[in-house]
Amino acid sequence: MKARIDVVRLSVGFAVCLGLAASLSAAAKPIVVLNEDNDRYFCTRGEEGMTVPALEAYVDRIAGGKVTHFFMCPSGQRTSYDSKAWEPIWACLTEPGCSDSRWGLNAKLLHDRGIDPYAVWAKGCRARGVSPWLTMRMNDVHSVHDP
């Protein structure tokens, strides 16, 4: 089953990239997409990274290279933001084995500070000529065989 899921994931990703490439085929420069996974930013920084200036500095680094499109994934089983429809990642902080989730702690810290990282990143990307995109994981299942 895992191989099938990987093929589906690869096929969907390939289809998205083909559609993007087709829509921009007249573009003179190559397309370079950076995919910001649902938890990577949150898990690779401490509290100091959970500020508007730190989020803007991240976009500055992205835009300073060859990235033309920034894909942001705000969900993976749970979301990195609060919502009436989805459970945020920090809801797991009361569960055994999740109380030290850096993703949950940092996403909650941004939420408590009233900072929407995706809005900051999208605004920064647009100001620097990088096309921001929101993505969503539709088949995000980990450790399916672990009861």
Tens digit of each residue's pLDDT (9 = 90 or more) over 95-108: 877 777 899 999 99
Residue 85 above 60 pLDDT? Answer: yes
User: Please, are residues 132 and 121 in contact by the beta-carbon 8 Å criterion?
Assistant: yes
Please say whether the beta carbons of 76 and 35 come within 8 A: no
Q: Is 45 a residue whose pLDDT tops 70? A: yes
**Torsion, Cα of 11, 12, 17, 23 (10° steps):** 120
The overall average pLDDT reported for the chain is 82
| Arithmetic mean of pLDDT, 132-145 | 77
C-alpha angle 20-25-29 in degrees, rounded to nearest 5: 100
Torsions phi, psi for 99 (to 5 deg): -65, -15
State the average pLDDT over residues 76-85.
87
**pLDDT > 90? residue 5:** no
Average pLDDT, stretch 10-25? 55
pTM for this model (two decimals): 0.75
Q: Determine the average pLDDT of the residues in 37-49.
A: 92
